Amino acid sequence: MAVQYYTTQLSAGLGLKDETKSLFDLYEPAITVQIMYELALNAGTFPNITARRLRNIIAECFFPRYMREKDVASHIKTLIPKLTSPELSQLFYLYTAKANLILADFVKQVYWQKYASGYPTIDVDDAKGFVEEALQDGKMQKTWSDSTIKKVSSYLLGCLVDYGFLSLENRNERRFTPPRLSDKLAVYLAYDLHFAGLGDNAVIKHTHWQLFGLSPEDVREEMKNLALNRHWIIQAAGDVVQISWTYKNMEDVLSVIA
């Protein structure tokens, strides 16, 4: 597997929830950056965004987040009208973290660790320390300037504010407001991993659950609870899990959770 480096791609846009929803209105299978850009310009949906900024949002945010994996964009477009705002935030957050390794690792290594330790807030210095340590560990392709480190540190916290994981406390601090993973997103994620070809134990132990602060033990309990709704049958003995999956494809999953 090729080495994944941390990038500054979050600088192109943080949560962008409203912009993303508007772009999904324009989405069609096999659409290109150029076609979506032209459609967005002609739609007049983004009157307060410059043409250059709009193209940047499409090319550097929308496409890397939602067009990297086959059928993901089509699935999300189906779900958007059916999900609540908090549920949609969690869905957008999942794919933003998957597309931005630096965000995913920050959440797993700093956000949830600090929250679990009982801290009420997290600050820019926490994010900056994480970025500086990553730089020392060779996780960037090239050295970042002090200004870049400062900006990216701010972007990490700003993105989590946009997705409801933090709230503004003051200029430097953000208060923890961790959402509970919604049942619909739990079903979606479990089946997404299952249809990716993972075995039952690998589904339970996958690192994507850590984005929502869940350990494998937490995931197992969540799935036991959701089994009551007949999404699957789960049997667990020690560390071994066996799951009988109810739905045969993601379209079936979407029709149930939507």
Dihedral angle at the C-alpha atoms of 136, 141, 145, 146, nearest 10 degrees? -40
231 in Cβ contact with 256 (< 8 Å): yes
**In DSSP terms, which residues pair with 167 in a beta bridge?**
175
pLDDT confidence tier of residue 1, bands split at 50, 70 and 90:
low
Domain limits, the chain: 99-176, 183-257
Give mean pLDDT, residues 212-227: 96
Q: Give whole-number Cα distances, 117 to 57, 129, 170, in Å.
A: 36, 17, 21
Q: Give whole-number Cα distances, 43 to 36, 37, 39, 46, 191, in Å.
A: 10, 10, 6, 8, 35
Q: What tens digit of pLDDT does each residue of 86-117 get?
A: 999 999 999 999 999 999 999 999 999 999 99
Q: What percent of the chain has pLDDT over 90?
A: 90
CATH match for 99-176 among 3.30.1360, 2.60.40, 1.10.10, 2.40.30: 1.10.10
Strands (E), the chain: 121-123, 166-168, 173-176, 232-237, 240-245
Quote the tokens at residue 143.
């050295």
- Whose structure tokens read 């045969």? 248
DSSP states of 102-142: HHHHHIIIIIHHHHHTT-SEEEHHHHHHHHHHHHHTT-BSS
What's the distance, Cα to Cα, between the start and end of the chain in Å? 35
pLDDT of residue 132: 97
What φ, ψ does residue 196 adopt, rounded to 5°? -80, -5
Q: What is the pTM of this model?
A: 0.95
Q: Which residues contact 187 (CB under 8 A, 6 or more apart)?
A: 226, 231, 253, 256, 257
Give mean pLDDT, residues 228-241: 90
pLDDT of residue 171: 77
122 in Cβ contact with 176 (< 8 Å): yes
| Mean pLDDT across the chain | 95
Quote the tokens at residue 69.
């994996």
172 against 215, higher pLDDT: 215
51 against 1, higher pLDDT: 51
pLDDT of residue 26: 96
Residue 10 pLDDT > 90, yes or no? yes
Q: What tens digit of pLDDT does each residue of 114-148 get?
A: 999 999 999 999 999 999 999 999 999 999 999 99
